[in-house]
Amino acid sequence: MNSSADALCWFGASGDLAYKMTFPALYAMSKRGRLTVPVVGVAYSDWTLEDLRERGRASLAEHATVDDPEALDHLMASLRYVDGDYADAATFEALRSTLDGLRSSRPAHYLAIPPSLFGEVVESLGSSGCAEGARVIVEKPFGRDLASAQELNRIVHRVFDEDDVYRIDHFLGKQEVLNLMYLRFANSFFEPIWNRDHIASVQITMAEDFGVQGRGRFYEEVGALRDVVQNHLLQVVALLAMEPPVGQGVAATRDEKARVFKAMSPLHSKGIVRGQFDGYQNEEGVADDSDVETYVAVRLHIDSWRWAGVPWYIRAGKELPVHATEVRVELKAPPQRVFRETSLDHGDDDHNHLRFRLQPQPEIALGLRSMVPGDGIEGRASELTLCEDVTDERTPYERLLTEALAGDPLLFTREDSVEAAWKVVEHVLEDHPAAIPYVPGSWGPPEAEDLLPGKHRWADPVMPGDERR
Ligand code: BG6
């Protein structure tokens, strides 16, 4: 754990992410008494400090509930502003003198800027002296393949030590995601069943019931595999699959996570199904003949003692029927059928499972069979559900910025993990089957079922009112 930063330098302060996410996060931090450092906005927009404040007020009016005037005043008073071209050394001299004026010796530089600008900004932070005693918080996407991620790491490491690099994956700022790791290691009943002897397979579904929301140009460069699987969903896998950390401390946990990424077998083209929703090609910035996937399903294996032979099925898509992210752990069926249940003969073979709904409303459920009243012995599948009203008020960005300023790297991705995760998807970034069209509002291409063996099916997230409960 590093010491707390004494200033936040916020590159890209005039941008979209700043407007939608960062201002609300800073306001929330201010409300909670966690904004204790000055925030120096940096952008090339021909703005003044007053313009930045104005933008902040507009952002909060749209993306937050401003119910604490003092917190708002505190945020506005904490802001400073440096305007200038990132290619111009004078911008960084101005930043250095602003930091000197603030007597800052441990600034945190938050790079909410396109990766194409990282190189020159990091170099200039180094040459201007702004990197001394500093840490850097890097926004995603961290590369678009293994080579570009390695290159970004090389660039960042020319100036910053790995211990001072905080790579953002906002899924790690979600309490429900962290809870997966917490549940496993804070309860004793998980461990005995958490392995290939008891778990038949794991499914992770990230369904979004909306399209690319005007981000067609961005999506064309990315696709679902890069956008949410290589990062967010593989992080979820790592938290579910990691070994208990050996010893205390953040490094021990990060080491175990890194081991999972390294044990994942690289995906190959037979283990991936890609889809594209009808209408995607009409989005602005999308090519008429685009083959970019808005849906992807993969079958993944983790080559470790614990997980040998257990398939991990991951799917993510836009324009699916619901908005939900859910993990479903299928437990192996009992070894014998003790009861002659006719419902089982008729295909009601819902095995025992554990279900973790991560969003929108967190839920933990144990799927089991229990007896129904009537003649003979007959059962039905039902769920024991824990549905606490524990939705975290803190957004991932509030949590992540707070932790990065405090110097706790637990929720940030480490160089070796990021590169190992790219290695998992590397082959199929180029070598993959064509995207299959699907109808918006459907569950994507039916071909995705072929990734699962025999009569196994993708289990759609269980939503409120669903009779499977
Ligand atoms: C982002 C992706 O990283 O995550 C988006 O770029 C996706 O395409 C989003 O919609 C999902 O995050 P959340 O927190 O809204 O579930």
Ligand 1 center from residue 7 Cα (angstroms): 28
Q: Each residue of 134-149: pLDDT tens digit?
A: 999 999 889 999 999 9
Q: Does residue 178 share a domain with residue 111?
A: no
Q: Is the dihedral of CA 80, 86, 410, 428 positive or negative?
A: positive
What was the pLDDT predicted at 208? 98
Q: Measured between alpha carbons, how far is residue 138 from residues 113, 210, 211, 375 in Å?
A: 9, 27, 26, 63
Q: Does residue 176 share a domain with residue 105?
A: no
Q: Which domain holds residue 373?
A: 172-395+415-451
Nearest residue CA, atom 14 of ligand 1?
171
Q: Does residue 288 share a domain with residue 331?
A: yes
Report the mean per-residue pLDDT for the chain.
94
Residues with CB under 6 A from ligand 1: 170, 208, 227-228, 359
298: which strand partners? 272, 314
Q: Each residue of 80-109: pLDDT tens digit?
A: 999 999 999 999 999 999 999 999 999 999
Ligand 1 center from residue 301 Cα (angstroms): 24
Tokens of 453: 């063996």
The H or E element spanning position 311 is none
Contact 294, 276 (CB under 8 A): yes
Tokens of 202: 């794991």
- Ligand 1 atom at shortest distance from the alpha carbon of 222: 6
Q: Is the dihedral of CA 52, 56, 113, 255 positive or negative?
A: positive
CATH code of the domain in which 300 resides: 3.30.360.10
pLDDT at 129 over 90: yes
Q: Does residue 385 share a domain with residue 335?
A: yes
Nearest residue CA, atom 9 of ligand 1?
228
> CA-CA distance, 445 to 428, in Å (whole number)?
18
Contact 107, 9 (CB under 8 A): yes
Residue 156, in any domain of the structure: no
CB within 8 A of 404, min separation 6: which ones? Answer: 5, 108, 110, 135, 137, 166, 412
The 3-class SS string of 167-235 reads: ECCHHHHCHHHHHHHHHHHHCCCHHHHCCCCCEEEEEEEEECCCCCCCCHHHHHHHHHHHHHHHHHHHH
Q: Does residue 238 share a domain with residue 121?
A: no
Residue 269, in any domain of the structure: yes
Q: Does residue 205 share a domain with residue 81?
A: no
Ligand 1 center from residue 464 Cα (angstroms): 22
Nearest residue CA, atom 11 of ligand 1?
228
275: which strand partners? 295, 436
- Ligand 1 atom at shortest distance from the alpha carbon of 218: 6
Q: Does residue 24 share a domain with residue 123?
A: yes
Ligand 1 center from residue 378 Cα (angstroms): 43
Q: Does residue 223 share a domain with residue 113?
A: no
Residue 404, in any domain of the structure: no
Residue 458, in any domain of the structure: no
What was the pLDDT predicted at 468? 66
Instruction: Fill in the DSSP letter of residue 315.
Output: E
Q: Does residue 125 share a domain with residue 77?
A: yes
- Ligand 1 atom at shortest distance from the alpha carbon of 171: 14
Number of domains in the chain: 2
CATH code of the domain in which 23 resides: 3.40.50.720
Percentage of the chain beyond pLDDT 90 is 85
Q: Each residue of 338-386: pLDDT tens digit?
A: 888 877 766 556 669 999 999 998 999 999 988 999 888 888 888 998 8
Residue 197, in any domain of the structure: yes
Residue 305: exposure state from Cβ atoms within 10 A (0-12, 13-18, ≥19): exposed
* Average pLDDT of the segment spanning 104-133: 95
Ligand 1 center from residue 218 Cα (angstroms): 13
Contact 465, 361 (CB under 8 A): no
Q: Band the pLDDT of 392: cuts 50, 70, 90.
A: low
Residue 158, in any domain of the structure: no
Nearest residue CA, atom 7 of ligand 1?
228
The H or E element spanning position 58 is helix 49-63
Q: Each residue of 246-302: pLDDT tens digit?
A: 988 899 999 999 999 999 999 999 999 999 999 999 999 999 999 999 999 999 999
Residue 51: exposure state from Cβ atoms within 10 A (0-12, 13-18, ≥19): middle
pTM for this model (two decimals): 0.95
Nearest residue CA, atom 8 of ligand 1?
227
Residue where one domain finishes, among candidates 139, 159, 193: 139
Q: Which of 16, 175, 208, 398 to mutate to test the pocket of ligand 1 (most atoms within 8 A of CB)?
A: 208
Residue 466: exposure state from Cβ atoms within 10 A (0-12, 13-18, ≥19): exposed
* Pairing relationship of beta strands 107-111 and 7-11 according to DSSP bridges: parallel
Q: Each residue of 194-248: pLDDT tens digit?
A: 999 999 999 999 999 999 999 999 999 999 999 999 999 999 999 999 999 998 8
> CA-CA distance, 458 to 441, in Å (whole number)?
16
Q: Does residue 196 share a domain with residue 131?
A: no
Tokens of 313: 């099925």
Residue 403, in any domain of the structure: no
> Where in the sequence numbering do the catalytic residues fall?
232
Q: Each residue of 303-333: pLDDT tens digit?
A: 999 999 999 999 999 999 999 999 999 999 8
What was the pLDDT predicted at 11? 98
Ligand 1 center from residue 228 Cα (angstroms): 7
Q: Which of 168, 178, 219, 227 to mutate to test the pocket of ligand 1 (most atoms within 8 A of CB)?
A: 227
Residue 148, in any domain of the structure: no
Closest CA to 357 of 205, 163, 235: 205
Q: Does residue 278 share a domain with residue 183?
A: yes
The H or E element spanning position 32 is none
CB within 8 A of 108, min separation 6: which ones? Answer: 5, 7, 8, 9, 134, 135, 136, 137, 166, 404, 405
Omega before 360 cis (within 30°)? Answer: yes
316: which strand partners? 206, 296
Q: Does residue 423 share a domain with residue 312?
A: yes
DSSP per residue, 108-157: EEEE-S-HHHHHHHHHHHHHTTTTTT-EEEEPSP--SSHHHHHHHHHHHH
Contact 8, 38 (CB under 8 A): yes
